[in-house]
Structure 1
Amino acid sequence: MASYDPFRDLDRLASTLLETRRGPRRMPMDLYRDGDHYVLDADLPGVDPGSVDIDVDGQLLTIRAERTLASGDGVKWITREREAATFVRQLNLGQGIDTDRISASYDNGVLSVTIPVSEKAKPRRIEVATADAPGTIRAHESDAPQPIEQ
C-alpha cells in the first residue's frame, strides 16, 4: 500500500506539464578505451533487448531502444512513475575505427558496445634499417701504408 504524498504527486504533475522535450530520451553512457578497442556502456533499464537497434552509417553510430510498459486489463494503478520511452544516442566515430567488427551485448539493463580500432590506426613500432652508404672506403691490410725502411 502506497502512502499518499501530495507533494510527490504535485511534483510529478508539474514535471509532466512543464516538460518540453517530447521524443527520444538520452541514455546515460560511459565510453573508454581498453587496449585496441573502445567500450561504450549505456544504461537501458527495463528495455527489451529485442527493441535495441544499433546501426553504423559511414562514421555515425546510432543506438535506439524502446521501453514499453505492460498494461493489464482491469488493473487499478496505485502509483505509476515509470514511463514508456524511446532512447536515442548518436556518436561520430571519427577515423581509425573498424566499423565491420563492432559488436554488442546486453546484460542486466546495460548495453555494451565494443568498437575495435582499425589495424591502420593501432600504434606500431617502426624499425630503423641501416645500410652502408655508397662510396664508403674500407681499409684492407693490403691497402694499409707500408712503413718506409731507411
Structure 2
Amino acid sequence: MLLTSIDPFIQEFERQFDRLAQQTFAGGPGVPMDGLRRDDDVILRFDLPGIDPGSIDVTVDRGVLSVSARREQEIGEHERVFVRERPMGSFTRRVYLSDHLDSEQIDAHYDNGVLTVRIPVLERARPRKVEIQQGHAKALSA
C-alpha cells in the first residue's frame, strides 16, 4: 500500500489490490489495517488479536514500514482440532511510506490486540496558511 494517494477511487483500488495480493501470495488473509491522517501525523492500526506482543516486529528500511508477527498453535496434549479458521504462523504487512513522513520518529504501541503505529508528518508537508499580500502587483519584465 502506498500512503501518497488522496484520490478515493485510487485509494479503494489500492486497498482491494492489497487485500487480493495478500490472500493470493501470502497463502491466506493478510494483516487488516486502518490508516488515518491527523494534522501532525499518520496513524496506522493493525489487527493482531491473539498475538504474543513479543513476536511483533516493526521495522523501517528505505521507506518501507514492515509489521511482522507470529501466532503459535495452542493445542494441548489431549486436544485435537476439528475446525481451524484462525490463521497460524507468521504474518507480514508492508506499507510504502511517503517522503513527507518522518521515518526516524515512528513509535508503536500494542493494546488489546491492536498495534498502533504513529508516523509524524514532516514540518514541510504540514498544511499551512499562506498570507495574502495587498497592494500593487509588480510587473514582470521579459
Same fold at TM > 0.5? yes
- Structure-1-length-normalised TM-score: 0.64
Distance 1:116 1:20 in 2: 32
Structure 2 unaligned regions, length at least 5: 1-22, 135-142
Q: Structure 1 vs Structure 2: percent identity of aligned residues?
A: 41
Match of 1:85 in 2: 89
Structure 1 unaligned regions, length at least 5: 1-18, 131-150
Computed over aligned residues only, the root mean square deviation of the Cα atoms, in angstroms, reads: 2.9
Offset from partner CA, 1:36-55 (integer Å, 9 cap, x none): 11111111111111101010
Q: Does 1:35 align with 2:53?
A: no
For residues 23 and 78 of structure 1, do their structure 2 counterparts lie closer, same or farther at Cα, with a shift above 3 Å needed?
Answer: closer
Return the offset for 1:72: 2.7
For residues 120 and 24 of structure 1, do their structure 2 counterparts lie closer, same or farther at Cα, with a shift above 3 Å needed?
Answer: farther
Return the offset for 1:25: 4.7
Q: 1:105 aligns with which of 92, 103, 109?
A: 109
Conserved in 2, the CA contact under 8 Å of 1:32 and 1:40? Answer: yes
- Structure-2-length-normalised TM-score: 0.67
Conserved in 2, the CA contact under 8 Å of 1:24 and 1:88? Answer: no
- Equivalent residue of 1:50, what SS? helix
- The aligned length equals 114
Return the offset for 1:127: 4.7
Match of 1:52 in 2: 56
